[in-house]
Amino acid sequence: MTEQATTAYRICPFCEACCGLEIDVEQQRVVRIRGDARDVFSAGFLCPKAIGLKDLHDDPDRLRTPLIKRDGQFVEASWDEAYAEIARRLPPVIAAGGANAVATVLGNPTSHKMSLMLYFPRLARALGTRNMFSASSVDQVPKMLSVGLMFGSWLSVPVPDIERCDFLLILGANPMVSNGSLWTVPDFRGKAKALRARGGKIVVIDPRRTETADVADTHHFIRPGADVFFLLGIAHTLFDEQLVRLGRLADHVAGFDQLEQAFAPYSPERVAARCAIPASVMRELARSLAGAERAAVYGRIGTCTQQFGTVTSWLIDVLNVLTGHLDEAGGAMFPKAAAFAANTRGKPGVGRGVVTGRYASRVSAAPEVGGELPLTCLAEEIDTPGAGQVRALITVAANPVLSAPNGPRLARALEQLDFMVSLDIYLNETSRHADVILPGPSPLEDPHYDVSFTQFSHRNHARYSPAVLARADGQPDEWQSMLRIGAIAKGLGAHADLDALDDAALEDDLKRSAGDAAGQLMAALAPLRGAERMLDLALRSGPYGDQFGRNPGGLTLAAIQAAPSGIDLGPMAPRIPEVLRTPSGKIELAPPMLLDDLARVAADLAAPAPDMVIIGRRQLRSNNSWMHNLPVLAKGAFRCTALVHPDDALRLGLTDGAMAAISNGERRIEAQVEVSAEMMPGVVSLPHGWGHNLPGTRLHVAAERPGANLNALLDENLRDPLSGNAVLSGVAVEMGPL
């Protein structure tokens, strides 16, 4: 490092692990990225993706100025021109079709942007549309719904307390590659190794022998989409063999008496064939879970992206409760985030709970969940004429043409819109359809606090990253763009006073939550504004906050700014009943909606196994589709391969390295075959987010090796009916050599 170099600290924005990075900067250029060894949460860990931050910032394809489409071609524009174009074209759509004529789609990177997380709700309120969609409904809504029903808030997800756990059962998740999802756990490898070194055991259930299975004690293949039967088999055994022990939670549960009867039909012997796991394994796992002093069951994307996603997600936590491991050290516990968690607000121990279906989508009548409709409904809401038809779209860091089922239909639908705005740093497969593209700052130009992931962290902490690099002149903050578009939607034009709007919105919030003290709080937060003011407010009024002077030494934004490697807030501690926000003040073990859905499960018990089904897979060097455009992550062996078992390769005439056709009815893609015994026979695995061969994009590196779009193969009409989540796992396909 030269004398002119400085070191900055930044939470990695590339995945849910949120590792702390140390970044050397020289003359506004990143010269080195490494893990921050003093980071209170990640202790120096990083994965290869982190190095891609430099590539992302320097990427010549990354948009640095707004684009407006003129006569079918994108031309560069000033920010004023871009906002003026939105002001010219968005209000007429609203005037003609009403608020619901505008739809919004939030993509996954939004969750790594403090500004977007805190101000998108302001835009949503200004728009007033019911047509809100996000990546959550092709990913995690089943878990949000199940914990919402059980514990009372959408993000009260219990996570394994891995540093004190002795027995970890993992389904449909690959934390060796992801470092946790809905479970923020950097350096899973190190923690798994430590777990086993102290005599603990890890068991993995997955249709692929994943990287996590490789470091586990035991791995069992499971038929994709059959996790619900496997979990029911274990739950049945707990009652059958009198292994249930609620322990401390006995006084805090409701619905317990209904469970034994509900699980009675699902003996391991009866469900074994359906899930392809021997009954003896289910019985043994039930005994191990019940017998372990500190154990947890954890399931993730494979357990959500299937037809029984919500029931499966529920059963995972039911097992944690029935074996006495929920809310116990070393079990599945509730993080206590320093800011923004609904389960630290309001009256402890009781709340309004969650409801769904307050309205439904226009075409398929899919119920609203958490204020959103299923992303798989977006195309039909655009391409089906009639009152309430979507005529304009605002996408925020989203690429649903690649990330949602039947992207080709969605792409055609986007062409029919009257107007589309994309807030995106790339001209990608989705934003190419926009009329205006507004590029946000690169993550290195943005201050950051993890609004979401502190709520899923295996250890409590508070960390803040100031911007590492200066912004280009004129580049607005994303919270300003959110307010600006909101003002345009409300008819205030392209030049509304954003500071006045920001003040008014916050004051409004404060009047609702703090009544007469609102003015005092506004004064105490000055001179901050925007996202940082909201962060300061949330920290100071949060569970570790200074309570505006009433708790001297408590957290403030200034306090976490003064700690570049973060502030440790200790291990997770038991939180029941305080964490609950259900109307009953209890853990709802048997929500009627979930018990009722068991009828659908029962009807599926005898479903025959298709000849071949498809699943996705997470890869170390990829998380979002745009990562395929970063040279440091794109290099090396081609990764968008269709993994098949050698027996399947033989019977289907597939050759390692050759191309295969994979079809699902009319839908068809071509992918390179990789033969591997890590696959369960009868299952093919293809990573998602590929298919960069569409015209009109500006992703030069990704286009060199475009890969195949898994989602082009999937059916947008297949959803878990409770959560609306897309069914991405276990879909029947046909496969043969090209």
Pairing mode of beta strands 613-615, 683-685: parallel
Among the listed residues 9, 14, 464, 690, the single contact to ligand SF4 using CB under 6 A? 14
Across 532-610, where does the E strand assignment appear? Answer: 567-571, 587-588
| Smallest gap from residue 52 Cβ to ligand SF4 (A) | 8
CB of 184 to ligand SF4, least distance (A): 9
Residue 449 binding ligand SF4, by CB under 6 A: no
Residue 664 in tokens: 């699902």
Binder among 9, 12, 110, 289 for ligand SF4 (CB under 6 A): 12
Q: Which residue type does 518 have? A: A
Nearer to ligand SF4, 18 or 557 (CB): 18
Preceding omega of 574 cis (within 30 degrees of 0) = no
Asked if 51 is part of the footprint of ligand SF4 (rule: CB under 6 A), the reply reads no
Q: How far is the CB of 149 from ligand SF4 (least distance, A)?
A: 30
Interface map 580-609 toward ligand SF4 (x if CB under 6 A): ------------------------------
Sequence length of the chain is 738
Which stretch, 44-52, 146-154, 189-197, 476-484, contacts ligand SF4 (CB under 6 A)?
Answer: 44-52
For the CB of residue 193, give the shortest distance to ligand SF4 in the complex, in Å: 16
User: Smallest distance, Å, CB 34 to ligand SF4?
Assistant: 10
Q: Is 195 in the site for ligand SF4 (CB under 6 A)?
A: no
Interacting stretch for ligand SF4, rule CB under 6 A, among 13-21, 321-329, 423-431, 660-668? 13-21
Q: In angstroms, rounded to a whole number, what is the distance separating the alpha carbons of residues 48 and 179?
A: 12
Structure tokens at 688: 């998602």
Say if residue 596 is exposed, middle or buried (CB neighbours under 10 Å; 0-12, 13-18, 19+): exposed
Stretch binding ligand SF4 (CB under 6 A), from 41-49, 480-488, 671-679, 717-725: 41-49
Rounded Cα distance between 150 and 184, Å, is 21
Q: Rule CB under 6 A: say whether 56 interacts with ligand SF4.
A: no
CB under 6 A: which stretch of 7-15, 94-102, 588-596, 660-668 binds ligand SF4?
7-15
185 belongs to the binding site for ligand SF4 (CB under 6 A): no
Q: Does 49 bind ligand SF4 (CB under 6 A)?
A: yes
Residue number, 50 or 485, with CB nearest to ligand SF4: 50
172 neighbors 227 (Cβ within 8 angstroms) = yes
228, 598 contact by CB (below 8 A): no
Cis peptide before 681 (omega within 30 of 0): no
Touching ligand SF4, residues 17-36 (CB under 6 A): 17-19
Q: Which stretch binds ligand SF4 (CB under 6 A): 45-53, 168-176, 210-218, 714-722?
A: 45-53
Alpha helices in 71-161 (DSSP H): 79-97, 114-127, 141-151
* In the complex, minimum distance from the CB of residue 58 to ligand SF4, in angstroms, rounded to a whole number: 17
Separation of alpha carbons 356 and 723, rounded Å: 9
Type of residue at 218: T
- Maximum Cα–Cα distance across the chain: 74
The only residue of 47, 234, 382, 594 in contact with ligand SF4, by rule CB under 6 A: 47
State the nearest-atom distance from the C-beta of 154 to ligand SF4, in Å: 23
Binding residue for ligand SF4, selected from 23, 25, 40, 50, defined by CB under 6 A: 50
Segment lying near ligand SF4 (by CB under 6 A), choices 47-55, 568-576, 627-635, 709-717: 47-55
Which among 560, 335, 555, 525 is positioned nearest to 448, based on CA atoms? 560
Compute the distance between CA of residue 222 and CA of residue 227 in angstroms, rounded to an integer.
7
Is 186 an interacting residue with respect to ligand SF4 (CB under 6 A)? yes
Asked if residues 167 and 286 have their Cβ atoms less than 8 Å apart, the reply is no
Q: Judged by CB, which is closer to ligand SF4: 380, or 446? A: 446
C-alpha dist (Å) from residue 441 to 423, 425, 477: 10, 8, 7
CB of 428 to ligand SF4, least distance (A): 20
**129 with 486: CB under 8 angstroms?**
no
Q: In this complex, which beta carbon is closest to ligand SF4, that of residue 30 or of residue 316?
A: 30
Contact call for residue 46 and ligand SF4 (CB under 6 A): yes
Q: How far is the CB of 180 from ligand SF4 (least distance, A)?
A: 9
By CB atoms closer than 10 A (0-12, 13-18, 19+), residue 426 is: buried
**Phi first, then psi: what are they for 230, rounded to 5°?**
-60, -45
Cα–Cα distances in angstroms (integers) from residue 571 to residues 328, 388, 534, 575, in the given order:
12, 49, 26, 12
Q: How far is the CB of 71 from ligand SF4 (least distance, A)?
A: 40
Q: Which residues bind ligand SF4 (CB under 6 A)?
A: 12, 14-15, 17-19, 46-47, 49-50, 179, 186
